[in-house]
Amino acid sequence: MKKTLAAVAVLGAFAGSAFAADVTIYGRLDTGLLYQDSEVKFNGDVIAEDTSVSMESGGSTTSRLGIKGSEEISENLTVGFVLEKKLMSDDGTGDNDRFFDRESTVYAKTNFGTFYFGRVNSMWSDGGSTNFWAGNYVVFGTGTGGSIGAGTGLMVSHSRADNRISYISPEFAGFTVYAEYSMGADEVTNGTREENTREGDRPAALGVNYKNGAFGAGLVVSTVFENDGYTWTNGVLNHEHGTDPEDQWTVNLGTSYDFGFAKVMLAGQYYKDANTVGLFTDEDLLGTFDELEGYAVALGADIPLAGGTLTVGATYGDGEDKADGSTVEFDGYNVAAQYKYPLSKRTRIYGTIGYTDLDANDDTDDAEYKSFGANIGIAHYF
């Protein structure tokens, strides 16, 4: 009898703790139809072209499922967590083998700011617990419309990282300070990396955001301490130093103003010693590099229209390979428009059109990629 009463007491205490915490299951599903027509030219000759109609997930926002919770430990301390998984709503699968690939963090909110630990998105992005830059100052954020390419598609991107420590300060006179550092991923194929060494990429960034009524401005300076070209011997990771890569740097500046009839956004990025630059690399116009240098500018607006929102924007990017002996140069642009109409507070329909034109060349060859895309879809939040 005593054991039974003890067990009931333990279960009651556990249940009380569970109900004391604030736990929420949330998510969104976005499914639509995408039309895309693309063409690749090499030295003026068409070497590839494709026209397709497909059902896709994420035409206006990434489909996802999440669990989040928090508990107030004291007046000056709240501890919480976020677990979030990307979904492919057109076929019900996950995007990769990670169970919580979008975010897996625990955080502590104090009078001195909020600290995050785990896998979390960058402050540069428009998703995750610590983002602020792209969502506020790039008209389509880090991307929209599936393969339409709007948003930051012509920029050097900064996304989720494992073993990241992030910090967001309290707001002071409209200013909020951000900081982040990742110790690098643990796992690689058939082995492990040693954390916080040159065996893995370690992104870091500092940022500041300013809000004053209808006006906003944000700055992010980021770097990636790149892995040193580790090698494998008989399936075992060689922990000795290999190559000496150039560490990547970007400076990202954005501003916005809400005029009432339209919210206008202008953003720019300068990058140095980058390995990849958005669509220029995704479409294989560029090979493998370590010293890409250039810039991108994005301009656009959110316009209230007929009960919904019309988003229009254009992005231009230009760069070159600064490695000794290289003559590679590249440039391109994207224009896009999207209309979103709310059917309720949690459900909307949308339609998007976009056009992308990219070019890369050296002293002897020229490659060009062109793509037109359009989609329609529905997104539901829960």
What is the spatial distance between Cα 169 and Cα 268, in angstroms, rounded to a whole number? 24
Q: Is 365 helix (H, G, I), strand (E, B) or coil?
A: coil
Of the ranges 117-121, 157-161, 231-235, 293-297, which one carries the lowest mean pLDDT score? 231-235
- What CATH number labels 105-381? 2.40.160.10
CA distance 373 to 37: 6
Answer whether residue 4 shows pLDDT above 50: no
Instruction: Name, in order, each residue with C-beta under 8 angstroms of 301's C-beta and a sequence gap of 6 or more.
Output: 139, 262, 263, 264, 265, 311, 312, 313
User: With pLDDT > 90 as the criterion, what percentage of the chain qualifies?
Assistant: 78
pLDDT digits (tens, 9 = 90+) for 262-281: 999 999 999 999 999 999 98
- Please report, to the nearest 10 degrees, the dihedral formed by the alpha carbons of residues 209, 316, 148, 123 taken in order: -20
Q: With beta carbons less than 8 A apart as the criterion, state whether 228 and 244 touch.
A: yes
**pLDDT tens-digit readout, 177-221:** 999 999 987 766 556 777 888 888 999 999 999 999 999 999 999
Give the torsion sign (CA, 156, 160, 163, 169): positive
Element (H, E) at 362: none
Residue 333, CB-side half-sphere exposure with 13 Å CA sphere: 6
49 pLDDT exceeds 60?
yes
Q: Which residue has the higher pLDDT, 147 or 360?
A: 360
pLDDT of amino acid 190: 59
28 DSSP assignment: E
| pLDDT level of residue 145 (50, 70, 90 thresholds) | low
- State the average pLDDT over residues 36-54: 96
**With left for phi above 0 and alpha for psi between -120 and 50, is residue 124 left, alpha or beta?**
alpha
Task: Give the chain's radius of gyration (CA, Å).
Answer: 23
pLDDT digits (tens, 9 = 90+) for 123-140: 999 999 999 999 999 999
| 175 has pLDDT over 80 | yes
Q: With a cut of 90, say whether residue 356 has pLDDT above it.
A: yes
Does pLDDT of 253 surpass 50?
A: yes
The domains of the chain are located at 105-381
Spatial separation of the C-alpha atoms in residues 276 and 291, rounded to whole Å: 9
